Chains A and B, each alone.
Chain A
Amino acid sequence: MSINFLEINNATFVASKKNKVLDLNLTIKNEGDIICLLGPSGIGKTTILRSIAGLQKIPKGKIFLKGKLLSSDIDHIEPEKRNVALSFQDNSLFPHYTILENINFGAKRNRNANYNFDTDELIKLLHLEGLAEKYPHQISAGEAQRVSLARSLMSKPDLLLLDEPFSNVDESLKVELQQNIKKILKEKKITTIIVTHDSYEAFYMADYCGILLSQTMKQFDTPYNIYHYPNSIEVVNFLNRGILVDAKVLDESSVEHKCLGVIKGNFVKKYKKGTAVKLLVQPDDLEHDDKSNLKLEIIDRKFRGTNFIYTLKTENDDLIPVFVHSHHIHQHEIEEKFGVKTPIYIDHLVCF
């Protein structure tokens, strides 16, 4: 049996009396995998990173890196001996060193690493040109965050931990940085755990995502599966994927909703005929069709750039969101009737 790269067994993480994560199990099988932990703020995501880095002790459970025990309720390897780098969300640059000195501060640490960085190359990739001789108080928060990231990379860690790495970075730069970072991490096979509350960032960066809600890991899966097969109502609500409506299972490939009628598709889980379920309806599940007989009242319209989201009200008071492309020939006003194409087909029928 091969050894897992990182293993967290039944570990409890305590941030404060209210905020803790209980009995967490997390396994990273392969070196070079990128994991994103998603969850609302204050849930304890940062605490998990701090504990893996060794800045905090864990009261219960065990953490192994490459088969070596790092933390348990009894043992605790000091952070400087773990070779785990954590890039903080807030500014943690050494104020009396220049940006270049900061970046190179940990460079000598790991001589045995099987990868290497060129400082100049890193500076270019992270868009830090022209800052080398400046001091931390002379640069912006977003720049400081990128310097901190560069510093962590330069120390060539076995495991890289990033705490909201792009939270202070300009929206316009974010996408490019995400691409660059992902490329570096994949090229050098650096195993990384990223904490974020931005689900799109997580879906783009990660090989696997973990959803942390109310003190536990609700779901751990690939981004695709998390998006299309959320395993609980909490995850649906957290990702803000759509709404849940009451429906009845008709047969192996269809359900019936009071107003929307028969909805066809493939069930994610098997249900007995006649079971009352809550069906997930997502904005991209319904299609607009002016000629359709199924007309619903519009109660809200949001402009989202590439599309509009219309909120429709059914006769039994369900509020259903529908995407319509912005270039659609005409717009509909609130209180107008809106046609929905029938019969409705939803690829994955997610029911609870």
Chain B
Amino acid sequence: MTFLSSRLKPLQMFNRSINFWYVSSFAVSLFVAIPILTVFSSYFSSTSEYMELLKTTFLKDYIINSTIILVGVLSLTFIFGVLSAYFVSFYNFWGVNFFKWSLILSFAVPAYIYAYSLTAFFENYGSLFSLLTWIFGEYNYNKHIPKFDGMFGAIISMSFSLFGYVYVLTRASFYHQSNNLIEVSKNLGLSAKESFFKIILPSARPAIVAGLSLVAMECLSDFGTVSFFSVSTLTTGIYNSWLAFDDLNTANQLSFILLIIILSLFLVENYSRGGAKYHQNTNTGFRKIPKIELKGKKSLYPIFFCLLIFLLSFIFPLSQMIYWTAKFPKYFQDTNILELNLNTLLLVFLASLVLISLAFLINFGNRISKSKILDNLSMFSISGYAIPGVILAVAFISFFSWFSDTLTKNFGIISIKNIFIGSIFGLIAAYFVRFYSLAFNGIKSSYLKINQSIDDSSYLLGYSKFRTFRKIHFPNLKNSIYLISILIAIEIIKELPITLILRPFNFDTFATKAYAYASQDLLEAAALPSLFLIFWSAILIFFTSKHILSEK
């Protein structure tokens, strides 16, 4: 008997650890890892001639251009984000509560849409030209109007659409600083100014760095803007080697370079975010910092600054798009706007459903099995967020072409390429990789708020794991599901490269439709889908503003 049980033990241990939760966690992580694995493996495979050519000619340009844009965008977003966060956090002035949340409306305007507005406004015979003519009469203003295009235009567009990350994170960090700290520093004899530079700003540094690294990741991943302004960067290089030269291998090798840069930023961001948590102890002893009242002349600086940023980042692109939509009503007929709405809705619905159910499943599994291995595995599976859309889409195509070809060659199965490439299913799968971290982390953070002893109590009162989920977890997580679906919706509405590359034939969203018109030099026609895109995103941001401003 004892002999038998001791023989059985290793087997049972094995059965205990290889259970449903491990298998599903592992499957999700593996699936999310597909793009990274593809890119890495193709880097070490043979190089094509085109790659050799690239190395000697354009590769340097790509990297230099990407770097210049990056530096420009980081500097501008730092100034916009930190200054506006500083004003709304420490001062009371006319309109401060409005600015506090209206500044995040900039998230509704993706950089490529901003680029369309910028061009539409400043181009020859553009909106500014019409405006000047209307005010001052006929004259050839074109040579006096500055042109925001090329690299400069790209920097401006990205800065206005991305500064929100720095703003939100810095503001949260300012907000969560307890007044106790400041009182202690004053008590120790530091002046208000000294407290700001010695206490407040240094402790916000991790948050600022985290915000800037998010900006950097988005900036390097950007495809729509640089492609519109015809700036050659790594992302356009990847896209072109896939589309124009049909050279997946080169595309993946370029991806490798970009991915290395971005993954290091991802590490910086995670590291700084860890640091940013230290002062967010909102438990006992937290007291809000009293704001400084500003009246009269002194209040004009912050009002002017916040208003300017708000007008430029949101009102400007919005009104440009409204103006054009009204001016060229004929595109109403050319664009099937109902279909675009329905397509977007379909994608949002399917993606949210898949993302949230799987995120729930994995989180629940991690929670009830309390395994460190599972925790680490899921940490790995959220890395998909860091992968630029272009890389993800191209790697997706390479992987499934290879996979399908291998199957056909070895087992004679008919090609399964079409299941994944150019289908709704494939599109949702790619979204899944890209946005899994959003869903997973969202549910995880609300799960962490439920004390473990609450689960235990429920078991002890006779409730099974599944009933605990239904009666305890689900009601407590309902709000976060609602929130996560909205965040997913905002991302999908704004998403361009993945949809562009993986969508089924003739299937369009606002983003791809606007892009298609814009790349045919039909900016007027791009206005309508762009307007809808801004409209829906802004509404969804409005609903989540409370969350974005408090926790993100």
Contact = CB atoms under 8 A, between A and B. Distances in A.
Interface of A: 50, 53-55, 74, 78-80, 82-86, 88, 90-96, 105-106, 109-110, 148, 151-152, 155
Given A90-B453, A94-B472, A84 B5 contact: no
A50 B465 CA distance: 17
B459 A80 contact: yes
B462 A88 contact: no
B479 to A, nearest CB: 10
A199 B304 CA distance: 68
B460 interface: yes
A86 B460 contact: yes
Nearest to A85: B460
Given A74-B12, A80-B464, A92 B459 contact: no
Interface string B455-471: 01111111111000000
A79 B476 contact: no
Nearest to A50: B456
Contacts of B465: 80
A151 B5 contact: no
Contacts of A105: 458, 461
B462 A109 contact: yes
18 contacts: A53-B456, A74-B9, A78-B459, A80-B461, A80-B465, A88-B453, A88-B457, A90-B451, A91-B451, A91-B453, A92-B457, A93-B454, A94-B457, A95-B450, A105-B458, A148-B457, A152-B461, A155-B460
Contacts of A83: 462
Nearest to B6: A74
A155 B454 contact: no
Contacts of B451: 90-92
B462 to A, nearest CB: 4
Contact of B454 (A55, A74, A92): A92
B290 interface: no
B475 interface: yes
Given A74-B5, A88-B453, A94 B458 contact: yes
Contact of B457 (A84, A110, A151): A151
B475 A80 contact: no
Interface residues of B, number: 21
Interface in B411-467: 450-451, 453-454, 456-465
Given A74-B5, A74-B9, A83-B462, A92 B456 contact: yes
Given A74-B9, A74-B12, A86 B456 contact: yes
Contacts of B458: 94, 105
A275 B431 CA distance: 83
A151 B457 CA distance: 9
Contacts of A54: 459
B461 A92 contact: no
Contacts of A88: 453, 456-457
A24 B489 CA distance: 56
Contacts of B462: 80, 83, 106, 109-110, 155
A74 B9 CA distance: 8
A93 to B, nearest CB: 8
Nearest to A88: B453
A151 B461 contact: yes
A74 B16 CA distance: 11
Contacts of B463: 80, 106
Contacts of A148: 457
A85 B456 CA distance: 10
Nearest to A79: B459
Contact of A155 (B456, B461, B464, B475): B461
A95 B472 CA distance: 9
Given A90-B453, A92-B451, A94-B472, A85 B5 contact: no
Contacts of A53: 456, 460
Nearest to A92: B453
B460 A80 contact: yes
A54 B464 CA distance: 13
Contacts of A82: 460
Given A79-B460, A94-B457, A109-B462, 11 more contacts: A54-B459, A55-B459, A85-B460, A85-B461, A86-B456, A91-B453, A92-B453, A94-B472, A106-B460, A106-B463, A110-B462
B6 to A, nearest CB: 10
Nearest to B467: A80
Contacts of A110: 462
Nearest to A148: B457
Contact of B461 (A50, A55, A109): A109
B1 to A, nearest CB: 12
A151 B453 CA distance: 14
A105 B454 CA distance: 12
Nearest to A89: B453
Nearest to A76: B16
A86 B8 CA distance: 32
Interface in B20-77: none
A63 to B, nearest CB: 15
Contacts of A106: 460-463
Contacts of A96: 472, 475-476
Contacts of B9: 74
Contacts of B450: 95
A105 B467 CA distance: 12
B368 to A, nearest CB: 11
A-B residue pairs, 3 tightest by C-beta:
A106-B461, A92-B453, A109-B462
A91 B457 CA distance: 10
Nearest to A155: B461
Nearest to B9: A74
A55 B457 CA distance: 10
A82 B460 CA distance: 8
A313 to B, nearest CB: 45
A84 B459 CA distance: 10
Contacts of A95: 450, 454, 476
B446 to A, nearest CB: 12
A251 B457 CA distance: 58
B501 to A, nearest CB: 43
B334 to A, nearest CB: 51
B282 to A, nearest CB: 14
B96 to A, nearest CB: 30
A128 B459 CA distance: 24
A73 to B, nearest CB: 8
A55 B12 contact: no
A239 to B, nearest CB: 30
A288 B465 CA distance: 64
A82 B9 CA distance: 24
Nearest to B461: A106
A84 B460 contact: yes
A262 to B, nearest CB: 57
A79 B467 CA distance: 13
Contacts of A84: 460
Nearest to B449: A95
B129 to A, nearest CB: 59
Most chain A beta-carbon contacts within 10 A, residue among B453, B463, B472: B453
